[in-house]
A = this chain, B = another copy of it.
Amino acid sequence: MSQIPKLSFLPPEIFGQSMRVNEIDFTDVRPLPPFKCSRFVVNPGQVSPLDVHDVKECWFIASGNGIIHYNDDVRTRVNHGDILYFDSNKGHQIQNDNTEDLVAFSIWWP
């Protein structure tokens, strides 16, 4: 019998009232993938903390919609189904201006 191909999540990291993030546990995947990933939820009416880092990152918007703030000078609406790319050291955060959860997957790599 093959192993069920569902990955587990590490315990959540909670950001006050705004967001919770669960990183994926790749313990059983060898060799390790060339990226890490997580799932996060931004609560209705909340904005995720500003995130700035050297690694590059993609967000896959799974459900809900919101407004992306990118590199100080861009604000644009994004919807479920969209895929976003953030270059190194470009600040990004998302405002959930809706009444439902905003759920997204994130992957990042060096």
Contact = CB atoms under 8 A, between A and B. Distances in A.
Interface of A: 1-7, 9, 24, 29, 33-35, 37, 39, 56, 58, 60-63, 68, 70-74, 76, 78, 80-87, 90, 92, 103, 105, 107, 109
A70 B4 contact: yes
B2 A83 contact: no
Given A2-B70, A2-B71, A6-B76, 6 more contacts: A7-B58, A9-B83, A33-B109, A35-B107, A37-B60, A107-B107
A34 B107 contact: no
Chain A contact surface mostly: strand
Contacts of A71: 2
A36 to B, nearest CB: 11
